Structure 1
């Protein structure tokens, strides 16, 4: 279900989830129980805890908490061969 944002004059904004067919123009504020008007804007269609929500949260989190690198990436080496005939091959 989509989330809709409502704004109370005294307490600020809060989100509520309603089905698209039953969205009211006003809702009761959870703090002061006063009437709050619905804000104009897009609803959020991402369910909390879903894979999409986790991806969005992880992407947002990297802006303030970048991943820490322990060491620089090592150089990849070609496997060493012990065949004596390979020594006669041209090297790059």
Structure 2
């Protein structure tokens, strides 16, 4: 279900939930019955998780202004021990 917004001349903005693609350009106002015209608005992006917004912003900034690497990264240090003791017996590449 999608929320569509209509504007009634008497009541103001009215939200109506309908299946996607089944919204008409005019609707009788559910409050007063007057003719309400559909208002085309942007998507409700405020419902997006903050972590996803940050990741999208970082990806967009990287596409336009990538950070340059000036040196080879250093080694991470000695290999970590496996969390499970039996994993230590597995063959290593």
Structure 2 length as normaliser, TM-score? Answer: 0.44
Instruction: Point out which structure has higher relative CO (alpha carbons under 8 A, 6+ apart).
Output: 1
Structure 1 length as normaliser, TM-score? Answer: 0.44
